[in-house]
Amino acid sequence: MAGLTENHPARRIDTARSMLLDRYGLDEAFLQNVAGSALGKWGDFADIYLQSRASESWRIESGRIKAGAFGIDLGYGMRVLRGAEASFASSQRIDRASMQKTGRLLTEGYGNAPAVQPVPAVTQDGPFREDLYGIADPLLSWSTDRKTALLRSIDALARSLDPRVVSVNANVHASHETVWLTRHDGFSSGDVRPLIKVAVMVTVLSNGRREVAGSGFGGRAGYEVLSEEAIEGLVRKVVSSALTKLEGQPAPAGPMTVVIGAGWNGVLLHEAVGHGLEGDFNQRGSSAFSGRIGERIAAPGVTILDDGTVPGGRGSLNIDDEGVGSQRTVLVEDGILRGYMHDLLSARQMGCAPTGNGRRQSYASTPLPRMTNTYMEAGTLEPGEIISSVSHGIYVDNLSGGQVDVTSGRFVFEASEAFLIENGRLGAPIAGATILGNGPDTLKQISMIGNDRMLDGGIGVCSKSGQTLPVGVGQPTLRVDGLIVGGKGS
């Protein structure tokens, strides 16, 4: 691998092969043979997914290091498909005998089933692309003393900024995941996936009133992204947010214009729209967007993408967990629904190409169509111009606690940081506001789109069918008319 950059695919593939094949006495020819054996006369598709994941976390509370943990998860999953029917098994034991036995078990119950025509190979054509992230192991880059010193510095800085800070919780989490995927159709490759996150939460107290604020950042990188400057900016932001909430007055209630700030607030799109555009929900007809390709589902100017190719993005992947290369998939273009996110199974069921969205939490899980980095593209307006257009409404700086019903599209979010807008100007902070709406309706209620599209800082996680995965979200500043705001004010 001499002379290759860290982000050259050959370095990544060779590293994954060494970690998961060479180490356990395996080779690609053997895996291909096992996949073919598992296919038997019953299946039309088979794959083997090997994974090793090392992770660590450190946490500080009230000035003390409260927890430090390290773990390794290792194993493989083997899957056989026949149409929409699946047979799956997993094991923590990686060796030839175990894998051969698993392959036999998956197919032996169907030994007399008629042979079927295998599905076509999933090709990976396209121009050469450098990897989206490096392969260095973040767990090895810093000493334990340096990691705990970082947490202590966060605690000390937050408390020094204001005497009303009464509690500081902070944690860092890092993982290094190596995967290898072999399919019966001849595909065989691997990926090496670093991930880092730091999160800070502070509690402030004044005149008996207690408020909490938190934030963080990270991505597919190592501890090097936790620079002193970045950490200081994070801590100052969190303390400022908590102190602002101390001044919050009761939120108004009723339908009104809501301006939603850029970046992390794309979590609203993720929950209210993104899940409804995943292929499995639409194949079953259970999404509010099922059967609507080519229809207008959003206001003009609304373009939404799922993009697994963002360099270093939290949800980015060089290849997904079925071996399909990550893509930049246009879901909604200028308000028109253009497509869904697919894994191999939903793609074959709906007669279209996979989009690189087949993801699984671990080797013990089956793949599902899942988001990567999902965001709305920028418009042309300055954020200040959008705020000045509102005579009465609220500005939401931070959303949290979202829930959505995929079938109906209904959602509810807590506006954890929000301000009144009066006569085109930001006013007093408000507390206790919730945002209620319907995803399909909300897309059509967007009346202004800012030029400030941002992705979140790299802290998002998404749960579906019991599987939790890292994701990215993003959006520009948006004006949405007629959203329902729940609050205690008038």
- The pLDDT tens digits of the residues spanning 334-347 come to 999 999 999 999 99
Helix/strand/coil for 134: coil
Compute the distance between CA of residue 126 and CA of residue 304 in angstroms, rounded to an integer: 23
Rg (CA), the chain: 24
Q: Mean pLDDT, to the nearest integer, of 264-287?
A: 93
Tell me the per-residue pLDDT of 376-388, one tens digit each, with 9 for 90 and over: 999 999 999 999 9
Contact 47, 31 (CB under 8 A): no
From the CB of residue 16, how many other CB atoms can be counted at a distance below 10 Å? 22
Among all chains, which residue has been given the structure tokens 């860290």? 6
Provide the pLDDT for residue 108: 74
Q: For 394-425, write each residue's pLDDT tens digit.
A: 999 999 877 778 778 888 999 999 999 999 99
How far apart, in whole angstroms, are the C-alpha atoms of residue 230 and residue 326? 29
Q: Nearest 5°: CA angle at 256, between 255 and 258?
A: 130
Question: For all residues of the chain together, what is the average pLDDT?
Answer: 92
Confidence band (pLDDT; 50, 70, 90) for 126?
Answer: very low
Tokens of 60: 């500080």
Q: DSSP letter string over 190-238?
A: EEEEEEEEEEEEEEEEETTEEEEEEEEEEESS-GGG--HHHHHHHHHHH
Distances (CA, A) of 284 to 9, 32, 354, 464: 36, 32, 17, 16
State phi, psi for 72 to the nearest 5 degrees: -130, 130
What pLDDT is recorded for position 110? 60
Average pLDDT, integer, range 119-144: 78
Per-residue pLDDT, 62: 85
Tell me: pLDDT of 112 over 90: no
pLDDT at 357: 98
Q: Distance between CA 134 and CA 217 in Å, rounded?
A: 18
The CA distance from 267 to 397, in Å, is 12
Delineate the domains of the chain, giving CATH numbers in brackets: 9-246 (3.30.2290.10), 249-486 (no CATH)
Reported confidence tier of residue 113, pLDDT bands at 50, 70, 90: low
Query: Looking only at Cα atoms, what is the longest distance across the chain?
Result: 76
Please determine, for residue 2, whether its predicted confidence score (pLDDT) is greater than 90.
no
- Residue 321 CA to residue 191 CA, distance in Å, equals 9
Q: How do 254-260 and 478-486 pair as beta strands? A: antiparallel
Which DSSP category does 262 fall into?
S
Three-class SS state of 114:
coil
In this structure, are strands 188-206 and 165-183 parallel, antiparallel, or unpaired?
antiparallel
Q: From the centroid of its chain, how far is CA 137?
A: 20
- The residue type of 461 is V
Q: Quick check: 107 and 85 in contact, CB under 8 A?
A: no
The pLDDT assigned to 364 comes to 97
Which pLDDT belongs to residue 125? 47
What 3-state class would DSSP assign to 118? coil
Backbone phi, psi, residue 327, to 5°: -135, 165
Chain-centroid distance, C-alpha 304: 15
> What is the three-class DSSP state of 319?
strand
Q: What is the pLDDT of residue 109?
A: 59
Residue-wise pLDDT tens digits, 178-235: 999 999 999 999 999 999 999 999 999 999 999 999 999 999 999 999 999 999 999 9
Question: Cα angle vertex 450, ends 263, 331, to 5°?
Answer: 70
Q: Determine contact, residues 446/299, Cβ cutoff 8 Å.
A: yes
Q: How many CB atoms lie within 10 A of CB 469?
A: 21
Rounded CA gap, 407 and 276, in Å? 8
State yes or no: pLDDT of 299 exceeds 60.
Answer: yes
Tell me the DSSP string of 87-103. EEEEES--SHHHHHHHH
- Measured at the CA of 191, the angle between CA 188 and CA 196, to 5 degrees, comes to 165
Angle at 170 (CA atoms; ends 165, 171), nearest 5 degrees: 175
DSSP 8-state symbol, 387: H
Task: Tell me the percentage of the chain whose pLDDT exceeds 70.
Answer: 94
pLDDT for 118 beyond 60: no
Structure token digits, residue 182: 């072999």
Residue 291 scores a pLDDT above 90: yes
More confident residue, 384 or 1: 384
Rounded Cα–Cα distance for residues 87 and 83 (Å): 11
Determine the average pLDDT of the residues in 290-306.
97
pLDDT tens, residue by residue, 346-369? 999 999 999 999 999 999 999 999
List, in order, residues 6 or more apart from 53 with CB less than 8 Å away: 72, 73, 74, 175, 176, 177, 178, 362
Are 366 and 435 in contact, with CB atoms under 8 Å apart? no
Choice between 127 and 331, residue whose per-residue pLDDT is larger:
331
Q: What percent of the chain has pLDDT over 90?
A: 84
